[in-house]
Amino acid sequence: MSLDIDHGDPDPDTDDPEEITVRLEILGTGCAKCTKLEEVTRAAVRDLGLDDTEIVKVQDITSIMTYGVMTTPALAIDGNVVVSGRVPSQADVTSLITTALTARE
């Protein structure tokens, strides 16, 4: 299932934005590399022990383009594209998430 969500607004169904640790968006049309990026991202989240993480697949090409992404797959953390055009390793994704969480503090 894909969800096309405006990356600038918090999830309207979440009463308390503090409940979501990090929002990860997999940007891609559903190709094999996009699927692999989702798998790697979910594994990184699992290894970090993050329970309150929102993972959203953005498959609509028009929505993807609003991020400035021209090559998929891409990963956005809290609305910021951190990698595009390749599937990073699980260690890389773990590091990107950790960096994003640290930057909040």
DSSP 16-35: -GGG-SEEEEEESSS-HHHH
> DSSP H helical segments within 19-89, as ranges?
32-48, 61-65
User: Looking at the annotation, which residues are catalytic?
Assistant: 31, 34
Number of residues assigned to the chain? 105
